[in-house]
Amino acid sequence: MNCRNFLKTTNILLVSALLPYCTACGGYGGGGTGGGGGSAPSAPTGLVATPGNATVSLAWTASTGATGYYIKRSTTSGAETQIAAQAGTSYNDTTVTNGTKYFYVVAAYNSYGTSADSAEVNATPTVPAAVNVTITVDPTKTRAISPYIYGTNFYEGNTNAPALLTLDRAGGNRWTAYNWINNGSNAGNDYFYENDDYLCNGTCNAGIPAEAVRMAIAADQTAGLASLVTLQLQGYVSKDTSVVKVPPPFPDLTYFRPVVNKKGAAFTLTPPPASTDGNVYMDEFVWTLDQKFPGKNIFGANPAHPTFASLDNEPDIWYSTHEEIQGSATVNSQKANNLPSATFISKTVALAQALKDQFPAVTIFGPVNYGFNGIYGWQGDATLSPTPSGTNWFADKYMTGIKAASATYGKPVVDVYDFHWYSEATDGTTRVTNLTASNLTDAQVQAIAQSPRSLWDTTYKENSWIANDVIGGPIYILGRLQAKIDAENPGMKIAITEYENGGFNHIAGTIAEADDLGIFGSQGIFAANFWPPGGTYDYTMAGFRAYRGFDGANAVFGDTSLQATSSNVANVMVYASADSATAGHYVFVAINRSTSSQMTAIDGVTLSGTASLYQITAASATGQNPIHPVPVGTQAVSGTSFQVSLPALSVTTIEVK
């Protein structure tokens, strides 16, 4: 129903008590311009009614010229009640009955009269549902969210790649032996130890130096992405572009050209062709790339879309992936050709300094460990004796070496500690990265959905050889690495440039990816790149859409993380963000990994306005292509707490503004 204007219904005794007698008007308040030449205030705007348990909270925007406000309530039965006259812009109505729908308007007054009514709003107070999980947000504990956590590898090759991604990585085993002069490469054990022109095959002119990388960066620049490119550290790159399978015994370096870090000068865009013996220079490589993007300063400070440099790929297992270069020596049937960790650190320092001599502001990633065993013990390096809580991991040795080299060089030689994380969690039998079916058991769903917790949660122990046999408890790899960085190289950042958690064709994969992205933001990760698997993986891509373009357009998660803790993280986790450019604009991503709906209270941050909800569930995803959040309604929010019901196995994005 519509409430009528207050001037027609206000009790005359209340009016006379509040307003002076207007001689010119012949009454109280005047309803317009009074005898003194003033005017009544403007009508209030922005009225919001938030229902509670036997209460309705009202809030509105102040009116110009107002000295006070009238509040009127009515019901569908026609009963009208003037419930207050006050100076403030909020009111808590506690004289209501649960289950009854109430209508409210507000009018402003001053000594010259009373405004028209505000727009009408309504609310129905109810007994609140039992809260299953409470999320406590602390808006005083914030962390900037790096824009580069929303990344993938080979962006243009992704199936159903979401819009609004931020970082593309040209990575993988094939790039270790990439020869930028002729665009030849060798994928090693991934593909028959074959030299070929795969990286340019049918897509670019292999006769143009660095064309495979230039093409990738150019596509990224057009798409508005930063780029992460691989620089060759192992020591040799492919000599041939025609298909040549390098025959055992390994190594046979006649099929390769030597890599040298520093040429220093006399750079050329047309170095000797691949058929000519000679060196392949890394500083000349980055110089060439820079020359191909004039005016963009891609390796400089604060470019629009930077290009970062990765010091190769998974060097801790070159003995397996690149035997054609590393060699096939064995001792007692065990590989004996792994690059010693000390040698690797020396090679890292030499290449990093050569690059920074040429481009002082370039951001360098290393060591690009293949996984936990590389971080922990450099895949069995005999010079290391790592222990779970000790400072004798490979990561410790690496950071100590980088710290010493940086002190000598005068600035950091490596800026980002980079590693890969293919979850080793299992359902008791099968590793989650191999759980790719559309039908999964409850145990498999939970193994996938819980697996991201091993990145940060000190209370969660996954079922894996890492947690059971090595660490003997929770892994929380990010916390462990951050502590080591803080001890040796404060300011060094962390990146995870390949990762997977499985569930690529199930809502569990959406949940895991949404959890990963929330963790990356809340833990201060600098960069992250999902590794797209073979086959289909649209459910995982949907996890990105919970943060990027969740409204089907340009709405995104905020750039500032607010600390949020869950009373039951095994069931529900919520990631909270603020927008540094717009006060009062918040976005939450709520993850329900349980198999039942969860009434969730989000407490601690002062909200005002409307919450718009977008949701991904197994039901909503059915038949979608691509899978994306769907709008499921709005609700008024006011104060420091609101509640939302999260469906079983779901991801819900909540935008408040």
CA distance 460 to 570: 9
Whole-number pLDDT of residue 24: 32
Beta-ladder partners of 151: 167, 529
Q: Comparing 92-96, 346-350, 649-653, which segment has the lowest mean pLDDT?
A: 92-96
What confidence tier does 274 reach under pLDDT thresholds 50, 70, 90?
low
Report whether 171 contacts 497 (CB < 8 A).
Answer: yes
Asked whether the predicted pLDDT for residue 16 surpasses 50, the reply is no
Question: What pLDDT is stored for residue 23 in this prediction?
Answer: 33
State yes or no: cis peptide before 388, omega within 30 of 0: no
Q: In Å, what is the CA distance from 556 to each residue of 545, 584, 634, 644?
A: 9, 15, 17, 20
9-18, 198-207, 321-330: which has the minimum mean pLDDT? 9-18
Token duo for residue 657: 């503004």
CA dist 75 to 116, 396, 473, Å?
20, 69, 59
Token reading at 485: 């960085």
Residue of 279 and 336 predicted with greater confidence: 279
- In this prediction, residue 21 carries a pLDDT of 34
pLDDT in the model for residue 26: 34
Query: Is the C-alpha dihedral spanning 82, 86, 89, 91 positive or negative?
Result: negative
Q: How far, in Å, CA of 469 to CA of 388, rounded?
A: 11
Amino acid identity, residue 511? I
For residue 322, with 0-12 CB atoms within 10 Å meaning exposed, 13-18 middle and 19 or more buried, which class applies? buried
Residue 331: pLDDT above 80?
A: no
Cis before 367 (ω within 30): yes
CA 393 to chain centre: 28
* Structure tokens given for 20: 């002076």
Within a 10 A sphere around the Cβ of 14, how many other Cβ atoms?
Answer: 13
**Amino acid 32: pLDDT:** 42
In this structure, what are the phi and psi dihedrals at residue 135, rounded to the nearest 5 degrees? -105, 125
In degrees, to the nearest 5, what angle opens at C-alpha 214 toward C-alphas 209 and 218? 155
Question: Higher-confidence residue: 252 or 314?
Answer: 314
- What is the DSSP secondary structure assignment for residue 316, as one 8-state letter? G
Q: DSSP letters along 234-290, please?
A: SSEEE--SS-EEPPSSSP-GGGEEEEES---S---SSPPPTTS---EEHHHHHHHHH
10 pLDDT more than 70: no
Distance from C-alpha of 312 to C-alpha of 231, rounded to nearest angstrom: 5
Helices and strands, counts by H and E, the chain: 15, 33
Tokens of 199: 């990286």
Determine whether 324 is an active site residue.
no
What length is written for the chain? Answer: 657
Which pLDDT score is estimated for 519? 98
Rounded to a whole number, what is the distance in angstroms from the first to the last CA of the chain? 27
Q: Which of 324, 168, 336, 331 is CA-nearest to residue 234?
A: 324
Give φ, ψ of 353 to 5 degrees.
-70, -40
- Residue 183 phi/psi, 5-degree rounding, is 65, 20
Closest CA to 208 of 228, 179, 234, 186: 179
Query: Nearest-CA neighbor of 74 among 117, 100, 104?
Result: 104
Residue carrying structure tokens 């099929």:
255
**Strand order of the sheet with strand 256-260?**
236-238, 256-260, 280-281
Name residue 167's beta-bridge partners.
151, 226
Say yes or no to pLDDT of 237 above 70: yes
User: Is beta strand 364-369 parallel, antiparallel or unpaired with respect to 493-500?
Assistant: unpaired
- Rounded Cα distance, 454 and 477, in Å: 7
What proportion of the chain, given as a percentage, has pLDDT over 90? 83
User: Could you tell me the pTM of the whole model?
Assistant: 0.84
| Distance in angstroms (rounded) separating the CA atoms of residues 623 and 82 | 52
User: Has residue 608 got a pLDDT over 70?
Assistant: yes
Residue that has been written with the tokens 């890492």 in this structure: 466
Q: Determine which of 381-385, 465-469, 628-632 has the lowest per-residue pLDDT on average.
A: 381-385
Q: Which residue has the higher pLDDT, 408 or 331?
A: 408
Which one is catalytic: 314, 323, 498, 655? 314
CA distance 557 to 543: 12
Exposed, middle or buried: residue 186 (CB in 10 Å: 0-12, 13-18, 19+)?
Answer: buried
Residue type for position 426: T
Q: What is the pLDDT of residue 151?
A: 98
CA 287 to chain centre: 31
* Choice among 320-334, 493-507, 560-574 with the minimum mean pLDDT: 320-334
Residue type, 211: E
Q: Tens digits of per-residue pLDDT, 489-539?
A: 999 999 999 999 999 999 999 999 999 999 999 999 999 999 999 999 999
Quick one: DSSP state of residue 190? G
Q: If 0-12 CB within 10 Å is exposed, 13-18 middle and 19+ buried, where does residue 423 land? A: buried
Q: Which domains does the chain have, with CATH numbers?
A: 6-123 (2.60.40.10), 133-143+560-656 (2.60.40.1180), 160-423+495-500 (3.20.20.80)
Q: Which amino acid is at 492?
A: M
Average pLDDT along the chain: 91
| Among 3-7, 374-378, 446-450, 482-486, the least confident range | 3-7
